[in-house]
Structure 1
Amino acid sequence: MPVGGNVSTPEVATREELVRRAAELVPILADNAVWTEQNRRLKDETVEAMADAGIFRLRVPTRYGGHEADFRTLVEVAAQLARGDGSPAWVASVSWITSWMIGLFPDEVQDEVFSTGQGRTCGTLSPSAIANPTDGGIVVNGKWGFISGALHSDWQVVIAVLVPAEGEPYPVMAPVPLSDLRVVDDWHASGLKGSGSVSTVAQDVFIPTERVLPLPAVLQEQYASKANAGSPVWRAPLLPVASASSVGTVLGLARAARENFLKRLPNRKITYTSYESQREAPLTHLQVAEATMVIDRIEFHAHRLASQVDTKGGDGTPWKLEERARARADLGAVVELGKASIDLLASASGGTSIYTDIPIQRIVRDVHAINQHALMHPNTNAELYGRVLCGLEPNTLYI
Structure 2
Amino acid sequence: MTRLGTEAQHILDTVQDAVPTLRRNGADTEKQRWLLDENIQLLEKAGVFRMVVPERFGGLDLPVADQAKILAAISQGCGSTGWVCMVWVSSAWIVSLFPDRAQEEVFAGGSVRVSGGFTPSGTLTPVEGGYRLSGSWRFNTGVPGAQWNIHAAMVEHADGRHEELFALVPAEDITVADDWDVFGAAGTGSATSTVKDVFVPAHRVVDTSVYDASTGDRWNADAKGRNYNMLSYVLATCAPVYLGIARSALDLFTERVAGKPITYTNWADQREHPYTQVTVGRAANQIAACEALSQDWLRVLQERADRGEKMTVEEKATVRGQVGYVVEATKAAVEMLYDISSASTIVRSNPFQRAFRDIAALSLHALLTPVSSLEAHGRVLLDLEPGTDYI
Name the CA distance, whole Å, in 1 between partners of 2:255 and 2:222: 46
Q: 1:258 aligns with which of 250, 253, 261?
A: 250
Provide TM-score, normalisation by structure 2: 0.96
Q: Which residue of 2 aligns with 1:4?
A: none
Query: What is the SS of the residue equivalent to 2:169?
Result: strand
In structure 2, the CA distance between the partners of 1:268 and 1:101, relative to structure 1 (3 Å rule), is same
Q: Which residue of 1 aligns with 2:287?
A: 295
Query: 1:68·1:233 contact (CA, 8 Å) conserved in 2?
Result: no
Please state if 1:305 is matched with 2:332: no
Q: Which residue of 2 aligns with 1:398?
A: 390
Query: What is the SS of the residue equivalent to 1:356?
Result: coil
- CA drift at 1:304: 1.6
Query: What is the SS of the residue equivalent to 2:168?
Result: strand
- Output one character per residue of 1:89-142: Cα deviation in whole Å (capped at 9) or x when no partner: 111111111111100011111011110373011103211111111111111111
Q: Which residue of 2 aligns with 1:68?
A: 61
Query: 2:214·2:221 contact (CA, 8 Å) conserved in 1?
Result: no
Q: Which residue of 2 aligns with 1:112?
A: 105
- CA drift at 1:269: 0.8
Matches within 5 A, 1:337-352: 337-352=329-344
Please state if 1:26 is matched with 2:19: yes
In structure 2, the CA distance between the partners of 1:233 and 1:151, relative to structure 1 (3 Å rule), is farther
Aligned AA for 2:384? Answer: L
Q: Which residue of 1 aligns with 2:119?
A: 126
Query: What is the SS of the residue equivalent to 1:124?
Result: strand
Please state if 1:160 is matched with 2:153: yes
Q: Which residue of 2 aligns with 1:224?
A: 216
In structure 2, the CA distance between the partners of 1:135 and 1:326, relative to structure 1 (3 Å rule), is same
Aligned AA for 2:362? Answer: I
Aligned AA for 1:175? Answer: L
Provide TM-score, normalisation by structure 1: 0.94
Q: How many percent identity over aligned positions?
A: 33
- CA drift at 1:21: 1.9
Aligned AA for 2:50? Answer: R
Q: Which residue of 2 aligns with 1:142?
A: 135
Name the CA distance, whole Å, in 2 between partners of 1:233 and 1:204: 38
Please state if 1:382 is matched with 2:380: no
- CA drift at 1:391: 2.3
Query: What is the SS of the residue equivalent to 1:222?
Result: coil
Query: 1:182·1:200 contact (CA, 8 Å) conserved in 2?
Result: yes
Please state if 1:102 is matched with 2:95: yes
In structure 2, the CA distance between the partners of 1:333 and 1:60, relative to structure 1 (3 Å rule), is same
Please state if 1:356 is matched with 2:348: yes
Structure 1: unaligned runs, 5 residues or longer: 1-11
Name the CA distance, whole Å, in 1 between partners of 2:71 and 2:63: 13
Query: What is the SS of the residue equivalent to 2:176?
Result: strand
Aligned AA for 2:387? Answer: N
Q: 2:278 aligns with which of 279, 286, 303?
A: 286
Name the CA distance, whole Å, in 2 between partners of 1:166 and 1:50: 48
Name the CA distance, whole Å, in 1 between partners of 2:72 and 2:214: 31
Name the CA distance, whole Å, in 2 between partners of 1:327 and 1:234: 17
Query: 2:59·2:110 contact (CA, 8 Å) conserved in 1?
Result: no
Aligned AA for 2:355? Answer: I
Please state if 1:212 is matched with 2:205: yes
Aligned AA for 1:397? Answer: D
Q: Which residue of 1 aligns with 2:71?
A: 78
Please state if 1:331 is matched with 2:331: no
Aligned AA for 1:195? Answer: T
Name the CA distance, whole Å, in 2 between partners of 1:252 and 1:21: 16
Name the CA distance, whole Å, in 2 between partners of 1:74 and 1:200: 27
Runs of 4+ more than 6 Å apart: none
- Output one character per residue of 1:244-291: Cα deviation in whole Å (capped at 9) or x when no partner: 111111111111011000110113110011111111111110111010
- Output one character per residue of 1:178-234: Cα deviation in whole Å (capped at 9) or x when no partner: 11011111111111101111110011011011111112x222432235322344443
Aligned AA for 2:108? Answer: S
- CA drift at 1:328: 0.6
Structure 2: unaligned runs, 5 residues or longer: none
Tell me the number of residue pairs that the alignment of Structure 1 and Structure 2 aligns.
387
- Output one character per residue of 1:40-94: Cα deviation in whole Å (capped at 9) or x when no partner: 0000111111111111121111112211111211221111111111111111111
Name the CA distance, whole Å, in 1 between partners of 2:144 and 2:225: 27
